Amino acid sequence: MATRNVVVVGASAGGVEALRTLVGGLPVDLPATVLVVLHVPPTGVNALAAILDRAGPLPARAARHGEHLRPGQVLVATPDLHLVLSDDHVLHSAGPRENGHRPAVDVLFRSAARAVGSRAVGVVLSGTLDDGAAGLVAIRGRGGLGVVQDPADALYAGMPNSAIAAAHPEHVLPVARIPELLAELVRTEAPPTPPATDLLEEEYAMARFDLDAIGGDEHPGTPSGYACPDCSGVLWRIEEAGMVRFRCRVGHAWSPESLHAEQTSAMDSALWMALRSLEERAALSREMGERAQLSGHRLSAQRFLERAAETETAARTIRDLLTSRADAGGAVQVPDDEAIG
């Protein structure tokens, strides 16, 4: 009898404490493998495995490329590499980022849906935006189960709220109660798995960094008119199970919320760069005007000083825009290395 013996867990902001609580409550005889993706910077230190190893009775460590799944262990994704399931073993992949992340929760969840079908249990914990929602939809579509941390219990409710709205999971509960639930679910029989969709197969190939799939002329969806923040290629709009997603030719994928956040960040960076350039140009024009005055070149001095005034007006407009966005609660970020004004 096939059981639901593969648990995939995704978390982002606020996820470390939630993961410690979850792993700490699992029984030592858990007849399932637990695979974990926490969104971390690509240059981050992989300390999560050690943290989870100390949290509970199950051994936790970084996943090794090509290893087979074994019950009673916790395998953690490595920074800057996707964790991908293939049949009953795990792979590392340097494939395209999803929602700006590698490793990405959706990549693990989607690969679990394809590889083990109804044997998968997907768990979405604390995090911002909507990462994990599309992956949990894929798991549910292949007969797997969905478990989501109660948004009221999460430090950041974005991921749980999005997963609930998109995937309609069977279970929504505080993280302290999830270990007991998982201990029951992984002992239940897995039903027959529905066939995988062509889209799931294609996205799995992209996660595996299959060059034929990435470079092919066939694309799901329709051109969106938006540019990919990672590579500036055209993003294709994909609608599946009521969800909208975007993917470019080389495989970078974005949810609407993540795309909007990335566009906002890029716009902020561009505005700060423009402000710095304008203020530097104004300062140089004023200096040149003053030097021309000292040399007795009145017309040149007037031209440079007028140019300085015009540039200062433009800089003031951008500064006012940035200030108004910050006052309104916008996500304005001042670069650490800026020394403007």
Q: Active-site positions?
A: 12, 39, 131
Strands 33-38 and 73-76: parallel
Q: How far apart are CA 199 and CA 219, in angstroms?
A: 9
Among 39, 40, 42, 32, CA closest to 8: 32
Contact 6, 190 (CB under 8 A): no
Contact 213, 202 (CB under 8 A): yes
What SS3 class is residue 117?
A: helix
Centre a 10 Å sphere on the Cβ of residue 52 and count the other Cβ atoms it contains.
24
Q: How far apart are CA 256 and CA 258, in angstroms?
A: 6
List, in order, residues 6 or more apart from 321 with CB less than 8 Å away. Answer: 271
